[in-house]
Amino acid sequence: MDLQLIGKRALVTGSSSGIGVGIAEMLAAEGASVVVHGRDAGRLQAVHDRIAARGTPVAMARGDLAIAEEAQAVAEAALGAFDGIDILVNNAGGSSDEEAKSWFAVPLEEWTKTFEKNVVAAGRLIHAMAPAMKERGWGRIIQISSAAGTIPTSAQPDYGPAKAAMVNMSLGLSKALAKSGVTVNTVSPGMIHTEGLEDFLRQFAARRGWGDDLAKAADYILQGTGQTVDRIGRVDDVAYAVCYLASPVADFVNGVNIHLDGGGSSSIY
């Protein structure tokens, strides 16, 4: 299937590690010109060089999206790289703490930080890029939320609500951009195998006295998710969904939230 992404210009935030790398690499493999983004200069350069080595047009934008001036600089660098952005993937984010802290153990300042780097960061880039997409009559905005956004747990009261806000924001924005040719959709991953997840599993196993048995920790957590697919998600699982939503062939899909969680969602939508 031809996803018709050749020549499209994409910014993937948070593509210096984890899921964002996979999204950026797959969009590039499909022929898009990609701006990779992150804060860590070394990791960002490495991802850039890997994509460039394949001969695909790629550029870098570095900065902390939780800081208004840096987010503005990131937007300007990305818009300048290929003279515009057609596809914005708001993937940067995560929780403020590596460990899943219990509800009352998360200080309120962390709530603010988590909202800044997930919700406000996405809003900043939307403000910077959506008007030009609308004017051109074509664009794609894809937000990476989380299963935690629609399946609240008794931990991380900063993270789940922030990710829920992203789903809400996407649907509202799809209505604000109605009939403009710009679609706005969300992908909500469950547990996805990244280095960050490995760190989390390592800490989880150590706390329970399981040593370095990451498989045991993963299995334990997997049982609790109610997944109907018996494996942890892969970065490519998310990247495939994003590439589809980013493509012209998905122009009838607007305002949806794809639950990419191995069947772990316990609702009918």
Of 32 and 148, the one with the shorter C-beta distance to ligand NAP is 148
With b for 16 or more beta-carbon neighbours within 10 A and e for fewer, the 233-252 pattern comes to bebbbbbbbbbbbbbeebee
**H-helix or E-strand spanning residue 159:** helix 159-176
What are the structure tokens assigned to 255, written together? 């305002």
Question: Is residue 123 a contact point for ligand NAP (CB under 6 A)?
Answer: no
**Contacts with ligand NAP, 77-116, as mask; x by CB under 6 A:** --------------xxxx----------------------
Residue with the CB atom nearest ligand NAP in the bound state = 18
Q: State in angstroms the smallest separation of the CB of 79 from ligand NAP.
A: 17
**Catalytic site residue 159?**
yes
Q: Hey, which residues does 58 pair with through a beta bridge?
A: 34
Q: State in angstroms the smallest separation of the CB of 76 from ligand NAP.
A: 15
For residue 108, the number of C-alpha atoms closer than 13 Å in the C-beta half-sphere is 0
The structure tokens 């804060």 sit at 39
Any idea what the Cα angle at residue 111 is, between residues 39 and 14, rounded to 5°? 25
What are the structure tokens assigned to 80, written together? 């300048």
Catalytic member of 159, 220, 240, 269:
159
Question: Is residue 218 a contact point for ligand NAP (CB under 6 A)?
Answer: no
Helices (H) and strands (E) in the chain, counts: 10, 7
For residues 153-192, which are near ligand NAP according to CB under 6 A? 189, 191-192
Identified binder of ligand NAP from the candidate list 4, 31, 39, 249, rule CB under 6 A: 39
Of 183 and 186, the one with the shorter C-beta distance to ligand NAP is 186
d(CA 255, CA 266): 20
| Active site residues per annotation | 159
Note the residues at the interface with ligand NAP (CB under 6 A).
14-20, 38-40, 43, 64-66, 91-94, 117, 144, 146, 189, 191-192, 194, 196-197
